[in-house]
Amino acid sequence: MRTRLAWLGLVASLALYAAAPAAQAAPAPQVSFVSPTSGTRYQSTTPVLDLVVQVAGPKLSSVTWSSDRGGAGTLTGRARQTFQANGIPLQTGDNRVRVEATNAWGVTSASTLTVILAGTEPAPTNQPPTVEGAPAPEADVGTPYEFRPAASDPDGDALYFGIRNKPAWASFGAQTGRLYGTPTDADVGSYSGIEITASDGAATASLGPFAVVVNTPAAENRSVTLSWTPPVERADGTALTNLAGYRIYFGADPGELDQVVSIDGAGLTRYVISGLPAGTWYFALTALDAGGLESGPSAIASGSGS
């Protein structure tokens, strides 16, 4: 009797054990990258990353990111099980951005995206141009004036020129910086505050300010040579025996010979009048005897000198 009961108890125990259901494992989330790439490596040209992932699986409780170069955060949910994080900082070289998804059962899965940020060289520092020269401080009416500055750029950049307070009588070359022109009588005066600039598009150098004075040209002195034949008789036909000298009357107007040169000596037959301003001059000659008696004037002669 005891043996039968023990056997039955064993059978009952085995039957109870076989009826218990087997435990099922919780499903794990599945993380995949959507943007900027669907792969696991990406090369960036900007120092921040905007990341979009897709996480498959029910009852998600959190989706987070972390970077081995620093920084961590949470991705925000979007439609169709997609999550996004913007402005993840990157550093030059490899950045391993790990995304972890956890569900309500505490099951976590992760994927890692390696983002490569290429090193960038700093932009070269622009060196300013130079411009120099010594413009002539004076210009004469009727005479061409020209000044061209010497300019260069250490970086080899193309240069463009400008000018401030350019004289009205002058022209200016924007490609060369050349200042040139021929002033007229109406331009006589001083022109100050002139400044020439040279620019490479980023930096500017200047020459000046300087001044140019336009002058009336100095009078050009000329000379006229007069020659004559000595008189041998007086107006009444008698012989002239006491010739003592001559007077030369001259002027810029034939009706007004207001300048006089007296010449002593009967033997002279030639005389040079110098220091005459440019233009036409008019001359008349008279003879004097020893008593101071003066003859009438000769015919008027003219000359512009040389």
The answer to whether residues 134 and 179 touch, using CB atoms and an 8 Å cutoff, is no
Domain count, the chain: 3
Predicted pLDDT of residue 50? 92
Predicted pLDDT of residue 15? 43
Predicted pLDDT of residue 61? 87
From 1-10, 182-191, 223-232, 254-263, the region with the lowest mean pLDDT: 1-10
Query: Confidence band (pLDDT; 50, 70, 90) for 219?
Result: low
Virtual torsion, Cα 54, 57, 61, 66, nearest 10 deg: -40
Q: What is the pLDDT of residues 70-106, one digit of tens each?
A: 889 898 887 678 989 898 999 888 999 999 999 888 8
Tokens of 60: 């998600």
Does 7 score more than 60 pLDDT?
no
Q: What is the pTM of this model?
A: 0.40
Query: Confidence band (pLDDT; 50, 70, 90) for 10?
Result: very low
Residue 124 lies in a domain: no
Q: Domain end: 181, 215, 249, which one?
A: 215
Q: Domain end: 117, 147, 168, which one?
A: 117
Residue 4 lies in a domain: no
Asked if 227 and 170 sit in the same domain, the reply is: no
Predicted pLDDT of residue 211? 95
Asked if 112 and 34 sit in the same domain, the reply is: yes
From 20-24, 142-146, 151-155, the region with the lowest mean pLDDT: 20-24
Tell me the C-alpha to C-alpha distance, in Å, between residue 55 and each of 81, 111, 151, 250: 6, 10, 65, 118
Does 246 score more than 90 pLDDT?
yes
pLDDT exceeding 90 applies to what percent of the chain?
Answer: 50
| Three-state secondary structure call for residue 205 | strand
How large is the average pLDDT for residues 192-203? 94
Predicted pLDDT of residue 98? 94
Name the burial class of residue 115, with classes exposed (0-12), middle (13-18) and buried (19+) by CB atoms within 10 angstroms of its CB. buried
Query: Confidence band (pLDDT; 50, 70, 90) for 306?
Result: low
Look-up of token digits 């050349």: 178
Look-up of token digits 């932009």: 123
- Could you tell me the CATH number of the domain that includes residue 169? 2.60.40.10
Asked if 68 and 104 sit in the same domain, the reply is: yes
Predicted pLDDT of residue 231? 92
Asked if 135 and 110 sit in the same domain, the reply is: no
Range of the domain at 71: 30-117
Look-up of token digits 């008027």: 300
Predicted pLDDT of residue 16? 42
Q: Domain end: 94, 117, 140, which one?
A: 117
Predicted pLDDT of residue 9? 44
Residue 13 lies in a domain: no
